[in-house]
Amino acid sequence: MREDATEPESKLLRAWQLAVLRFAVTRDDDDRMHALGVAGEVDRLGGAVDDAFHFFRRTTAELCVAISGRGADQDAVVRRFLAQIDHVRLRRAVEAAIAKDNVRDCTPPKLVASRVKPGNDLWRGLPSRRAAGT
């Protein structure tokens, strides 16, 4: 592989990962289609004329189903994808986007009851001015 070909390939791979992240955040069908389109571009990067190589399109379809929570082995699919992301902040962003559904299902934390306002007892326990001045 040529050295100058590495940079466009890595940029396209990063664009694919970002497209999957965008779908994980929005869960929008347009974003799913965009991720599949970018996956098709990555698949065509090898220059295959017969379009036999479809790893990224298949992986993207599996990821979208897993992210949507409809896949039988969704945890394994997502873990494999996360393990392949070498950029730490991108990996954390994908983890957070996928975990947001788990946060929505949790019950909100209970609020701490506010303390009762002391009213007239504010100065209780302190010496009076008359006693302090004598």
Residue 59 pLDDT greater than 90, yes or no: yes
Angstrom distance (rounded) from CA 74 to CA 62:
8
In 110-122, which positions are buried (b, 16+ CB within 10 angstroms) versus exposed (e)? eeeeeeeeeeeee
In this structure, the number of other CB atoms found within 10 A of the CB of residue 13 comes to 17
pLDDT digits (tens, 9 = 90+) for 90-124: 999 999 998 865 444 444 445 555 555 556 666 67
Range picked from 32-46, 48-62, 119-133 for highest mean pLDDT: 32-46
Tell me the DSSP string of 14-78. Answer: HHHHHHHHHHHHH--HHHHHHHHHHHHHHHHTT--SS----HHHHHHHHHHHHHTT--TTHHHHH
pLDDT, residue 107, reads 43
d(C-alpha 71, C-alpha 133), whole Å: 78
Given a cut of 90, is residue 88 above it in pLDDT?
yes
| Structure confidence at residue 18 (pLDDT) | 96
DSSP secondary structure code for residue 25 in this structure = H
List the structure tokens of 128.
């009076």
pLDDT in tens, 11-43: 999 999 999 999 999 999 999 999 999 999 998
First vs last C-alpha separation in the chain? 94
DSSP type of residue 2: -
